[in-house]
Amino acid sequence: MEVFLRRAPAQPGGAPELGRVPPRSFPRADDVPAPGRTAPDRAVPDYIEYYGRVEHFSGAFAHVGERRRTGARVKSRTPGEQKVVALQEAIRRSGLKDGMTVSFHHHLRNGDKVTNLVMQTIADMGFQDIHLAASGIFACHEPLVPLIESGVITQISVNTFNPGPVARAISQGKLRKPAILRSHGGRPRAVESGEMHVDVAFIAAPTCDEMGNLNGTHGPSACGYLSYAYADAEFADTVVAVTDNLVPYPACPIEIGQNLVDYVVKVDSIGDPNGIVSGTTKITTDPVNLRIARDAARLIDQAGYIKDGMTFQTGAGGTSLAVAAEVREYMKEKGVVGAFGSGGIHSYFVKMLQEGLFRALFDVQCFDLDAIRSAAEDPRHMAMSASLYGNPHTKGCIVNNLDVMILGATEIDTDFNVNVITGSDGVILGASGGHNDCAAGAKLTIIVTNLLKGRLCVVRDRVTTITTPGETVDVLVTEYGVAVNPRRTDLLERLRDSGLPLVDIHTLRRIGEHLTGTPAPQEFTDRIIGVVEYRDGTVIDVVRQPK
């Protein structure tokens, strides 16, 4: 295996001091050539029908500076007004019209019944040409497909997309207008800036009172904090809480207050508990994945990030959890207390909080029952709005304070650009979620993945769709070696004697292609079916309909 350092010798002067690793601010993007896979190369047009004028991506921190939030409309309520109405009545009073935007959160995940119920009611009431702004879409949302086919839903904006029937329908070109694929931080940015104006927000509420005070952590359909809904509650013209648990006034605790809610709708059930969360999240038992996790954890240690006050985020996938398990051992061994774990919270982080390995958790969604219980009971387990989580146009989002972020990838190219949106066949599989938010914020962004998935090599000459720019990705850890982004000369210096199997990412591509064969390029039509917005609102890529 070619050791990367041979090709990119360490900079003179030694490694920068750890706390002083230069942040990924705009100047960094100027230091080195652009990722090379941005607008011109990718043929992102300057104007996209049903989307509008395109602001092209030009660097992870090129579009920051001063911004203005939009001014929300508020219908004043006087004493004695009632808010509890039937769903049809709430829709009628909201003034919904053809062409408007309705929004939903995805904290009920694959158990959500609210989106289907509301959209079917909207269809039954005869509305057409609705823009569905759901923070996430899951397999359970299959009933939306006929509404797409019949033109009730003509546009979708989404930031989490589990592989499933709606994503397939979009890939098949059934949606009249292109889907807008955002990140978890990009969505509230779009809502707060007014770029995505929500006419009516429907907020599934596991607990709610008659005035609209609500929370997600209590009740028979408890799903944890409702962070993705906060921006909608604040900025939508009309806010409708939909609950199956109408409690005596006042609901307690209050996540979203009555000052933001127009109507309350009582339904029999907002979600299927079996789909809302998995009972528990589980660490991988696959020996190859465990080795990847061990290498990633060792890298974190060798790079000097296992230290008091450390901050750490990982998803709930089996390999990511295995990294957390390894990091936990390092922390215990060194007697380290971290500042926080963040992101979607799972039982593993809850355990680390309880063990005193973190002082706090920042929670944007709960992945399992332990996380929901902890959110309801432990004040150190704090909610963060999606805006506080990852919106780049705030005075500092939490991802900016991340030391280490563990992420996955569907594809990664030799410039470290990552795709988590489309398969190599061009079919939509997901959306950014927090991927490009966390990559941009964290001091050390690590992609953990098998080099070979199915019969395909994850490392490509170019990714099918860019979700996350390579300038924000530091390391790729695979079963065939660890590739460090050559921009991170400081990291390469630190890892020189780590014993980790360092390789050039091009070598990984060659190994993978040697084993799987050179992939036949997928062909696409000219039709744009998805617009991929970077977290700052620029367009980093488009998804064209596969042939």
Give the span between the Cα atoms of 320 and 270, in whole angstroms.
Answer: 30
Give the span between the Cα atoms of 434 and 471, in whole angstroms.
Answer: 16
List the one residue from 384, 457, 473, 475 that touches a copy of itself (CB under 8 A): 384
List the one residue out of 312, 87, 317, 303 whose CA is nearest residue 204.
87
Tell me whether strands 136-137 and 101-104 are parallel, antiparallel or unpaired. Answer: unpaired
Interaction mask 305-344, a copy of itself, x per CB under 8 A: ----x-----------------------------xx----
Q: Does 7 bind a copy of itself (CB under 8 A)?
A: no
The distance of closest approach from Cβ of residue 393 to a copy of itself in the complex, given in angstroms and rounded to an integer, is 5
List the one residue from 9, 11, 14, 23 that touches a copy of itself (CB under 8 A): 23
Strand order in the sheet with 358-366: 381-383, 358-366, 338-345, 311-314, 404-407, 444-448, 475-478, 481-484
Q: Does 278 bind a copy of itself (CB under 8 A)?
A: no
- Is the CB of residue 493 less than 8 Å from the CB of residue 433? no
Give the span between the Cα atoms of 184 and 374, in whole angstroms.
Answer: 22
Give the span between the Cα atoms of 166 and 430, in whole angstroms.
Answer: 11
Q: Does 434 bind a copy of itself (CB under 8 A)?
A: no
The distance of closest approach from Cβ of residue 525 to a copy of itself in the complex, given in angstroms and rounded to an integer, is 37
Interaction mask 85-124, a copy of itself, x per CB under 8 A: ----------------------------------------
Q: Which is nearer to a copy of itself, 218 or 298 (CB)?
A: 218
Give the span between the Cα atoms of 204 and 115, in whole angstroms.
Answer: 9
- Copy the structure tokens of residue 17: 């001091």
Give the span between the Cα atoms of 375 and 224, in whole angstroms.
Answer: 7
Q: Does 287 bind a copy of itself (CB under 8 A)?
A: no
Q: Does 460 bind a copy of itself (CB under 8 A)?
A: no
Question: Which whole-number Å values give the CA distances from 207 to 110, 243, 250, 411, 508, in the listed order?
Answer: 19, 7, 10, 40, 50
List the one residue from 120, 121, 302, 400 that touches a copy of itself (CB under 8 A): 400
Going by C-beta distance under 8 Å and a sequence separation of 6 or more, which residues neighbour residue 223? 107, 108, 109, 111, 204, 206, 216, 271, 276, 277, 366, 372
Q: Which is nearer to a copy of itself, 43 or 64 (CB)?
A: 64
Binding span for a copy of itself by CB under 8 A among 175-183, 439-447, 462-470, 491-499: 439-447
Question: Which whole-number Å values give the CA distances from 377 to 218, 248, 380, in the listed order?
Answer: 10, 20, 9
- Is the CB of residue 32 less than 8 Å from the CB of residue 8? no
DSSP annotation of 65: S
Residue type, 396: G
SS (H, E, C) 210-230: CCCCEECCCCCCCCCCCHHHH
Buried b (16+ CB within 10 A) or exposed e, 213-246: bbbbbbbebbbbbbbbbbbbbbbbbbbbbbbbbb
User: Tokens 């990367």 appear where?
Assistant: 4
What is the size of the binding site for a copy of itself (CB under 8 A)? 68
- Copy the structure tokens of residue 166: 């709606």
Q: Does 392 bind a copy of itself (CB under 8 A)?
A: yes
Q: Does 71 bind a copy of itself (CB under 8 A)?
A: yes
Binding span for a copy of itself by CB under 8 A among 50-58, 64-72, 404-412, 414-422: 64-72
Q: Does 354 bind a copy of itself (CB under 8 A)?
A: no
Q: Does 31 bind a copy of itself (CB under 8 A)?
A: no
List the one residue from 32, 43, 64, 515 that touches a copy of itself (CB under 8 A): 64
Q: Does 254 bind a copy of itself (CB under 8 A)?
A: yes
Give the span between the Cα atoms of 533 and 188, in whole angstroms.
Answer: 13
DSSP annotation of 5: H
Residue 282, class by beta-carbon neighbours within 10 Å (0-12 exposed, 13-18 middle, 19+ buried)? middle
The distance of closest approach from Cβ of residue 201 to a copy of itself in the complex, given in angstroms and rounded to an integer, is 12
Binding span for a copy of itself by CB under 8 A among 9-17, 141-149, 275-283, 380-388: 380-388
List the one residue from 183, 243, 258, 289 that touches a copy of itself (CB under 8 A): 258
List the one residue from 66, 268, 497, 526 that touches a copy of itself (CB under 8 A): 66
Interaction mask 183-222, a copy of itself, x per CB under 8 A: -----------x----------------xx----------
Q: Does 478 bind a copy of itself (CB under 8 A)?
A: no
List the one residue from 387, 419, 468, 478 that touches a copy of itself (CB under 8 A): 387
Q: Does 443 bind a copy of itself (CB under 8 A)?
A: yes
Q: Which is nearer to a copy of itself, 23 or 52 (CB)?
A: 23
List the one residue from 6, 53, 68, 547 that touches a copy of itself (CB under 8 A): 68
Q: Which is nearer to a copy of itself, 406 or 502 (CB)?
A: 406
The distance of closest approach from Cβ of residue 262 to a copy of itself in the complex, given in angstroms and rounded to an integer, is 6
List the one residue from 6, 31, 40, 78 that touches a copy of itself (CB under 8 A): 78
Give residues in contact with a copy of itself (CB under 8 A). 22-26, 61, 64-81, 83, 194, 211-212, 239, 248-250, 252-254, 257-262, 309, 339-340, 359-360, 362, 379-380, 382, 384-385, 387-388, 391-401, 440-441, 443
